Structures are given as C-alpha cells and as structure tokens.
Amino acid sequence: MKTRELGRTGIRVSPYCLGTMMFGQAGNPDADECARIVHRALDAGINFVDTADVYSGSESEVILGKALKGRRDDVVLATKVNGSMGADPNRGGSSRRWIVTEVEHSLRRLGTDHIDLYQVHHPDPLTDVEETLSALTDLVRDGKVRAIGSSNFLASEIVEAQWVAERRGLHRFRTEQPTYSVLNRAVEHEVLPTCQRYGMGVLVWSPLASGMLTGRYRKGMARPDNARMHWVSRHLTDERKLDAVEQLIPVAAEAGLSLTHLAMAFAVAHPGITSAIIGPRTLDHLEDLLAGAATVLDDAVLDRIDRIVPPGTDLGPIDVAYVPPAIARTALRRRPADERAAA
C-alpha cells in the first residue's frame, strides 16, 4: 500500500487507517479476533491505527495494545482524549488537569511509552484552547507524544487554534479528524480547505457513513432489529440518504465495483484527505475493505457522484456526530422570550 505525507509532520501513513472503535463490548468482544484484524491490516500494508480512550470504556486501547506487542515500532499509533470517562465531571474535557492525567492512562493501556498522534476528540467550549495546547505542548516536549491533532473542529476553531499556537509559541495541531463520506460532504466547504491552507493532515471517520454505504441498508427493505440499528437508527432510516444510495448502487455496478469500494475510493480521492479510517468489526469485513484498496475512480464516475450528492452537501447528520453547542443548545439560538416580546 502506498503511503502519503501526514500533513507536514514528516510522517508517512497509509491511505487506509485502521480504526478500532469496534474493538471491545461496543462491537467485537473477541480480543483474539481483534488481534487478528490488527495483524492482517499490518501485513496488508496499513501502518496507521486510530483508537480513543472512550471506545468500549477504554477496552479498545487495551485490546490494541496487546495486539501490537512486538510490532509497535511498525505502527503510527493515534488515540484521542476529551470524552467523558466517568461520573466525575473532571474526568473528561480538554483541561490541562485531565489531559496530563489521561495520557498516562492511555500509555499504560496501549503498552507503549509514546503516542505518535494525540488528538482532542471534540472541541471543548468550556476550556480555553491555549490551556489545551499548552498541556499538549508539554507532552510533546516530554517525549510522550510525537504530534497533536484535533477532531470534529469547525473551520473557525481550527484557525483559532493555529493563531493561538503561533502567538504563544506552542505546538500546533498537525491533523484534523472530521467525518466525511459521499453522503456527508459538508467539510468540503471550509474544513478541508482550511486544513490544506495550514498544511494539516486529515484522517476522516465514517467514510462508509456508519454502514449506509455498504449497500446493506436499502430503501423499502425491512429494518434489521439489532443493536446497531438502535445506535444509529435515525441515520440508517433517513429517506434522503436511502434515495442517494439507490442512485449510487448502479454507478458502482457500472464501474464494476461494490458500493463499499466506490465509497472508500471516493473518500481518499480528495487532495485534502490523507487517510480514511476503516472500522471493521470482523476479519471478513477487513478482507472486503482490503480487496478494494487499489480502486481509483475516474473523473466520469466522480462526476456522476457529484450529480447525486453535490460537493459540500450533507444529506443529514450521523447520529453519533458531534453537534456544536451553538446548534445543540436551544438557549444559544433564541433570545429570551421577554426580549423577543419587547422587540
């Protein structure tokens, strides 16, 4: 598998990144099979692996750490911090207090003395970004972290973080991890151009739109009654997305591809994207993804995709996607009733 530059870090990574959100109770509790998935991915040329402290309540990091024994030096290892790790309100977020504590936990669970890419999982509106960057800078200087990144940040938040780093002489975010797929292209408006402007690497999550772009969920088909459907039920039953899938399937077929392979090839075709995160739950899922790793879409196919889902279009949010407070909190979108009445 050919490698690409991860922004301006000097690190080269594979265009597919192995994501491990499905390792553990949230997906595949069989640690041995998860280890086989890791080993098969590495053998196939994938050298980039992404996890997070919150995945399966930290079980994912533990499983991955054991799977990487003896092969740690062959891997660009990424994990994330920010998600809530317990009832204590201080066990989460992007404060210095939590970051310097949680990095030690992640290092222990992963069985390593350093993390190649340490990412802030979500923006934290309650913490000054200077506080966050200052803590992360110290981790880089201590050798515990090689590079730092953001995830799910708005373009304005990316710019603010870059400016703060420059003004304060701090290490800057070298990567961003947004959601991106044929069905969710909103980051093409500002996030991807902003990352390109600052020379940031981009690893995208959910390039298969949480399973929607595998072709397993079709318009008019009975909805499977399983845990996954309850987890992302709104997303997988969205009529606009289902309509798009029905139009994309013949495009893939005429190109001699499965919908999965079409979707993955689309995700890594954008010049601003370094790597697309795959999240196989089973070894069979991984084998199918690897089978399409060499797929390259020509302009005619990409043009047809653009006509179905125009550039910059987001057909609807993924249920697990981050929602900024300005959108999620009603109080931030409406003046108080008495003020509205007075106006």
CB 151 within 8 A of CB 121: yes
Q: Indicate which residue of 16, 55, 118, 180 is catalytic.
A: 55
**Helices 283-291/259-267 angle, 10° precision:** 70
* CA-wise closest residue to 277 among 67, 80, 63, 24: 80
Could you tell me the sign of the dihedral formed by the alpha carbons of 18, 231, 120, 123, in that order? Answer: positive
SS3 labels along the chain:
CCCEECCCCCCEECCEEEECCCECCCCECCHHHHHHHHHHHHHCCCCEEECCCCHHHHHHHHHHHHHCCCCHHHCEEEEEECCCCCCCCCCCCCCHHHHHHHHHHHHHHHCCCCEEEEEECCCCCCCCHHHHHHHHHHHHHCCCEEEEEEECCCHHHHHHHHHHHHHHCCCCCCEEECECCCCECHHHCCHHHHHHHCCCEEEEECCCHHHHHHCCCCCCCCCCCCHHHHHCHHHHCCHHHHHHHHHHHHHHHHCCCCHHHHHHHHHCCCCCCCEEEECCCCHHHHHHHHHCCCCCCCHHHHHHHHHHCCCCCECCCCCCCCCCHHHHCHHHCCCCHHHHHHC
Task: List, in sequence order, every residue forming a beta bridge with 202; answer none if it has no partner.
Answer: 176
Rounded Cα gap, residues 48 and 14, in angstroms? 6
**Nearest CA-CA partner of 135 in 101, 167, 100, 108:** 100
180 part of the active site:
no
Where in the sequence numbering do the catalytic residues fall? Answer: 55
